[in-house]
Amino acid sequence: MKLVRKSLNEQLYDQLRQDIIEGKIGFGEKLINRELQQKFGVSSTPVRDAINRLFLDGLLEDITNSGAKVITFDLQFILEVNEVLTLLSCAAVECTAKRADQADQAELCAQLEELLLAQEHHSGTDEYYRYDFLFHQSFFCHCQNRQYQNAYSRYRVLLEMLFRRFYDFMSNHKDSTEQHRQILHFYRLGDIDQAVKQMKAHFLYAEQLFRQYMG
């Protein structure tokens, strides 16, 4: 498979990242530089750059001159990632409530409502994950804290990969969407404590699923 003309670095990174997230490249699988060069018809530089970016995303480990290895997940690692995202997401809700002005709050709530409708429409499909991510990202976009935004951007890649591997499609998508709706309900009412509580419950639900599938 040849890459069409664009930024080879960006294109190769996007392709490998998506293949790892979707499970086409498995946990613990080795990426060999020479094999990637032959497969995509590129030089060694785009391959090395893509591998370095995937390493920064937390998707690779054990980088050597010849390649790298996709991370191997165990239950403890999964729970640690989920715990970090719980703390970040709750902090983003609180920061947004404190720092966003009235117009921003109205815009955020309208955006969240639109994303909920999109989640419901795409329940049971891969497209669901994009709207699930955007729901959470909306709080980070309005929280006015770049450190939270950068940290979430990294860890949510890991969580998306887990969700794609372990979530049961229809029922769990509907449960997750309803949890999002509760978060929005309390946030819109100005009951931020309850909104944060619902966000924690949302990630606890994910933890229970991971324990169920990995236990």
Q: Got the DSSP string for 10-72?
A: HHHHHHHHHHHHTTSS-TT-EEEHHHHHHHHT--HHHHHHHHHHHHHTT-EEEEETTEEEE--
pLDDT (0 to 100) of residue 74 = 82
pLDDT (0 to 100) of residue 125 = 86
Burial (CB count within 10 angstroms: exposed 0-12, middle 13-18, buried 19+), residue 199: buried
Residues 178 and 102 in one domain: yes
Domain with 47 in it: 8-70
Parts of the chain with a pLDDT under 50? none
- Prediction pTM value: 0.80
Residues 59 and 151 in one domain: no
Q: What are the pLDDT digits (tens) for 43-52?
A: 999 999 999 9
**Domain count for the chain:** 2
For position 25, which CATH number holds? 1.10.10.10
Helix, strand, or coil (residue 101): coil
Residues 157 and 199 in one domain: yes
Q: Cα torsion for 17, 19, 21, 25, to the nearest 10°?
A: -110
pLDDT (0 to 100) of residue 66 = 92
| Cα(213)–Cα(215) distance, integer angstroms | 6
pLDDT (0 to 100) of residue 201 = 97
Q: Is the dihedral of CA 59, 62, 68, 72 positive or negative?
A: negative
Take residue 60 and report the two structure tokens written for it. 């690779």
pLDDT (0 to 100) of residue 211 = 87
pLDDT (0 to 100) of residue 168 = 56
pLDDT (0 to 100) of residue 75 = 86
pLDDT (0 to 100) of residue 34 = 95
Residues 178 and 83 in one domain: yes
Q: What are the pLDDT digits (tens) for 86-104?
A: 999 999 999 999 999 999 9
Contact (CB, 8 A) for 151 and 105: no
pLDDT (0 to 100) of residue 8 = 78
Residue 95 C-beta-side C-alpha neighbours within 13 Å: 18
pLDDT (0 to 100) of residue 1 = 53
